[in-house]
Structure formats: structure tokens, C-alpha cells
Amino acid sequence: MRPNSKFDAVDDMKPLGDRRTRVRLEVVGLLWGTLQVTNQARVVNISRNGALIASPVPVALESTQVLRLTLHGHEVTLRARVRHLRRASGNGEHDVHYCMGVEFLDEPPALLRALE
């Protein structure tokens, strides 16, 4: 026993047990899923076919992503495939971002009008 340890209170705690109200099943083997995370990113350049985006997080090559662009005050949603990705550093150690080239899979009319 440690004298006057800040961990003494933790040592005296009893386990609470499993408080789940629903059954969870053990996964045997591989079970793949997806996780959608929304992060703001900066569009560096854009064309009718795709865009270069500066993203705070890396994205898997050849993955399909849903992009939401705000053009002239209107939100445009489209699918895009990630064609290339490179790590880029800014001014400081914590200013790391990723340059991501995407190919648009959709051609929403609002996007085409905004790029004319």
C-alpha cells in the first residue's frame, strides 16, 4: 500500500459491472463499417470536373466522399472520388494539412452555373 497516495481512493473503488441494457454480440473475424465525420476544408481551386481541397484530415485514396460546397450562399451536395492525396505542412508543427485532389462524380446544375 502506498502511504498518502492520490490513488488510494481508486484502490478502494469497487467495479460497477456491465450496466448495458442491451445485448452486444462479439465480432468473430472482420466486420467493416464506415464512419462519416464532418470537417471544414478549404477549396484551393475548382473546375467542372474536380477540385483541389486543403483538408485537416487525410482521406483514403480512391474513396468516394460526399462534399457540401457553399456557392453564392447556396449549399450544393455532390459525390467525389479522391484521386490523389499528399501531406502538406504550414508554418508550424501543428499546422499540418492534406492536399486532396477529387474528381466530381455528379454535375449539379448549381455547381455548373457557379463555375460559368
Question: How does pLDDT run across 21-72, given as a tens digit for each residue?
Answer: 888 888 888 888 776 778 889 999 999 999 999 999 899 999 999 999 988 8
**Contact predicate 74/47, CB 8 Å:** no
Reported confidence tier of residue 92, pLDDT bands at 50, 70, 90? low
Residue 30 has which C-alpha cell?
472482420
| CA 84/CA 62 separation, integer angstroms | 8
Reported confidence tier of residue 7, pLDDT bands at 50, 70, 90? low
Name the CATH code of domain 34-114 (choices 1.10.3080.10, 2.40.10.220, 2.40.110.10, 3.40.50.150). Answer: 2.40.10.220
DSSP the chain: --TT-TTHHHHTPPP-----SS--PPP-S------------EEEEE-SSEEEEEESS---TT-EEEEEEEETTEEEEEEEEEEEEEEEE-SSTT-EEEEEEEEES---HHHHHHT-
Listed by start position, the domains of the chain span: 34-114
Least confident range of 9-13, 28-32, 55-59, 105-109: 9-13
**Contact predicate 47/53, CB 8 Å:** no
